[in-house]
Every structure is written in structure tokens, then in C-alpha cells.
């Protein structure tokens, strides 16, 4: 097994869809029945905090009804077995990678089971409903909000992500649309730094032409097969 190579893996909504979680945009451009502009922007939070908090409360509660699938489990197995550098960067705000056992993981768009203080930026684990006006344990301000990166906000840990892109020998994109930046540009950066690129997706993404190899089908089939082959090489 040539596990001296560095691997960076980007995962998107497609990897969690097979566990029963709704993908980012549904029919008609809606996100679980809501316009994205009504639930995922700073302006939406300011205009109707009750709606935004309720929306994320429902999404957080939905995590209780789903479990990791074979794709999550295969990536956790790779994480445990790969001796070289490896980083899983997920656009997803669910905790299915963690529950499968992945350790080398970054959430670039935040986490449902986390709350953020809009006043002091303190974070806290948050498994329960989060009403508007909840006070921060650190500073006391009634400013706790979902720890989610809204449109118009900077994704988390971009410096660490770009550093991983600059070092990796293989970049793999799993279950992503290739339409949401900055993640959609990761394949181009990886190629610029000299990495091999692989796409595993249900169907061609908006950036499929940038990949050296694209394989199409369910993540729960493609990802375990790829991991098995990689670990056996």
C-alpha cells in the first residue's frame, strides 16, 4: 500500500443523501421547503430570527433519525488505515462523518450540533433546540445562533484547507455539485499544485471537466470500492 501519498477529500450533500438527509437544493431551487435566501443569509437571521432558528432546530432534530452509510464508514476506515497525510473537508453540517469514526476532518460550512455567539464568537456543543435570544455562557450576550456559515460569510478554516490542497498528491471530490464556491474551485487549485484529481458522484458535476477521472454512481457503492482498491494497492 502506497500510503506515503497525501490525500485530501471533499464531501458534499450527495454522501449524506443516502442516509436520508435532504440535499442542499431540492425541486424548484428550494432548501427543504424554504428559499435559501429566507434561511441561510445574515439578512434572513436579522429579519426573522424565529424562522431561521426553527429551520435549523428541525434540521438538528433530523440527525436523530439517520445513521452513517457505507460511504461514511469507508472514509473512516481509510482515515484509520492511511499512514500518510489525509484530510476530509466536508461541506455538510451533519455529524455523520464523526459518527462513522472519521478523525481527520474539517467542517467548512459549520455544524448543526454547534452554536456560535454572534457577540464574542464563542462556540459550544448544542444538541438541543436553540431559541432566539439564548445567552452565551462565555460573555452573557443573548446572541447564540446556529454555527452555520451563511451565504456571504467566509467558510471556516480556509487557510488550513488551502495548505492541504497545496500538499496533497490526490484530491477526491465526493457527492458535490461543483456549483458552490469556494469549494467548487478546489479541484482547480489541486491541479495547479500538481495533484491527481478524482470525482465520485451520482452524476457529472459542474466541474467534471477538471477531474482526471470521474466515476458515477451511488456514493455508498463507489466510495467503499475506491477505498478497498486504494488500501489494497
Cis amide prior to 99 (ω within 30 degrees) = no
Give the whole-angstrom CA distance, residue 153 versus residue 40: 10
Q: Which three cell numbers stand for residue 67?
A: 445513521
Please identify which residue in the block is written with the cell numbers 497525510: 85
Q: Which three cell numbers stand for residue 71?
A: 460511504
Q: Based on the residue annotation, tell me whether 97 is a catalytic residue of this protein.
A: no
Please identify which residue in the block is written with the cell numbers 462556540: 123
> Catalytic pick from 72, 97, 107, 109?
109
Please, what is the end-to-end C-alpha distance for the chain in angstroms? 5
Residue 119 backbone phi and psi in degrees, to 5: -95, -50
Q: Which residues are catalytic?
A: 109
Amino acid at each position: 500500500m502506497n500510503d506515503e501519498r497525501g490525500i485530501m477529500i471533499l464531501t458534499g450533500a450527495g454522501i449524506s443523501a443516502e442516509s436520508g438527509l435532504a440535499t442542499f437544493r431540492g425541486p424548484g431551487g428550494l432548501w427543504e421547503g424554504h428559499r435559501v435566501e429566507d434561511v441561510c443569509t445574515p439578512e434572513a437571521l436579522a429579519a426573522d430570527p424565529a424562522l431561521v432558528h426553527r429551520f435549523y432546530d428541525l434540521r438538528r432534530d433530523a440527525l436523530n433519525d439517520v445513521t452513517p452509510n457505507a460511504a461514511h464508514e469507508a472514509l473512516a476506515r481509510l482515515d484509520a488505515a492511511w499512514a500518510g497525510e489525509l484530510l476530509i473537508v466536508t461541506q455538510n453540517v451533519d455529524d455523520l462523518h464523526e459518527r462513522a469514526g472519521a478523525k481527520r476532518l474539517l467542517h467548512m460550512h459549520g455544524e448543526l450540533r454547534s452554536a456560535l455567539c454572534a457577540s464574542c464568537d464563542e462556540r459550544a456543543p448544542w444538541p438541543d433546540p436553540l431559541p432566539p435570544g439564548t445567552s452565551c455562557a462565555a460573555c452573557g450576550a443573548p446572541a447564540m445562533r446556529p454555527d452555520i456559515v451563511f451565504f456571504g460569510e467566509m467558510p471556516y478554516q480556509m487557510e488550513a484547507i488551502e495548505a492541504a490542497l497545496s500538499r496533497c498528491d490526490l484530491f477526491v471530490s465526493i457527492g458535490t455539485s461543483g456549483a458552490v464556491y469556494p469549494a467548487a474551485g478546489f479541484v482547480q487549485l489541486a491541479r495547479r499544485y500538481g495533484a491527481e484529481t478524482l470525482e465520485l458522484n451520482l452524476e457529472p458535476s459542474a466541474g467534471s471537466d477538471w477531474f482526471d477521472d470521474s466515476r458515477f454512481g451511488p456514493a455508498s457503492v463507489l466510495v467503499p470500492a475506491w477505498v478497498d482498491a486504494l488500501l489494497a494497492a
